[in-house]
Amino acid sequence: GAVVSQHPSWVICKSGTSVKIECRSLDFQATTMFWYRQFPKQSLMLMATSNEGSKATYEQGVEKDKFLINHASLTLSTLTVTSAHPEDSSFYICSAPGTPIYEQYFGPGTRLTVT
R_g of the chain computed on alpha carbons: 13
| Nearest by Cα to 67 from 83, 89, 44 | 83
| C-alpha span between 98 and 115 (Å, rounded) | 36
Task: For residue 106, state whether it binds other proteins (rule: CB under 8 A).
Answer: yes
Sign of CA dihedral 101, 26, 2, 28: positive
User: What is the contact mask toward other proteins in residues 14 to 53, using x (rule: CB under 8 A)?
Assistant: ------------------x-x-x----xxxxxx--x----
Q: Binding residue for other proteins (CB under 8 A) from 7, 20, 66, 111? A: 111
Select 31 or 82, whichever has its Cβ closest to other proteins: 31
Residues that bind other proteins (CB under 8 A): 32, 34, 36, 41-46, 49, 91, 93, 97, 101-104, 106-109, 111
